[in-house]
Amino acid sequence: MEEVTTLFTQQAADKGIELMNFVRYDVPDKLQGDPGRLRQILSNLVGNALKFTTKGEVVVQVNVIEQNNTFATLRFEVIDTGIGVDRETVGKLFKAFIQADASITRKYGGTGLGLALCKKFVDLMGGQIDVTSEVGREATSGSPFSYLRARMADGHHRSPAPISPAHGCSS
């Protein structure tokens, strides 16, 4: 998370947006997973949050949903004070080349492919990704936009398990 927020620090500063990350105290300090995929997912979510936020903040946080001696299930959240997404569009966001409407493409740019790739990576990691958002929450208390749930092996209690490399996404 720290690497991702560092990548976007200047972009956030240029827009006057506060970019923060929070790791809850109970998140284990050693976990086994796929840091490359997780970095790609979080980078896309943070990039989108910054793209669609004109004032306020973007917060990246992680907390433990469930934990035992062999694994921890974590929830990563990217919360922004951006423009929000209407309910009709939320169901389409993780499909390739879908955006809220044509005016979004004109105003903010992009193809709508990033969230589809995020979903594919999350699926490959055995997690879930979804959205809770509503239009009109801009610059109020924040719109929780993206949630990623991922189960990771506890690095303190297991020997390293082989992780298959990402070979790209097929449709």
Is the predicted pLDDT of residue 137 greater than 80, yes or no? Answer: no
Cβ neighbours of residue 162 closer than 8 Å, sequence gap 6 or more: none
Is the predicted pLDDT of residue 5 greater than 90, yes or no? Answer: yes
Residue 126 dihedral angles phi and psi, to the nearest 5° = 75, 25
Query: Per-residue pLDDT tens for 80-102?
Result: 887 776 666 666 666 665 555 55
Is the predicted pLDDT of residue 50 greater than 60, yes or no? Answer: yes
Sign of CA dihedral 46, 48, 49, 51: positive
Note the pLDDT of residue 12: 96
**Range ranked top by mean pLDDT from 14-18, 30-34, 167-171:** 14-18
pLDDT-derived band of residue 108, with 50, 70 and 90 as boundaries?
Answer: very low
Note the pLDDT of residue 43: 93
How many whole angstroms separate alpha carbon 12 and alpha carbon 155?
Answer: 33
Percent of the chain predicted with pLDDT > 90: 23
How many whole angstroms separate alpha carbon 13 and alpha carbon 18?
Answer: 7
How many whole angstroms separate alpha carbon 148 and alpha carbon 139?
Answer: 23
Domain edges within the chain: 2-154
According to CATH, the topology of domain 2-154 is Heat Shock Protein 90 (3.30.565)
Picking from 99, 121, 95, the residue whose alpha carbon sits closest to that of residue 110 is 99
Threshold 0.85, pTM exceeds = no
Note the pLDDT of residue 98: 52
Tokens of 158: 């297991």
Query: Per-residue pLDDT tens for 143-152?
Result: 555 567 777 7
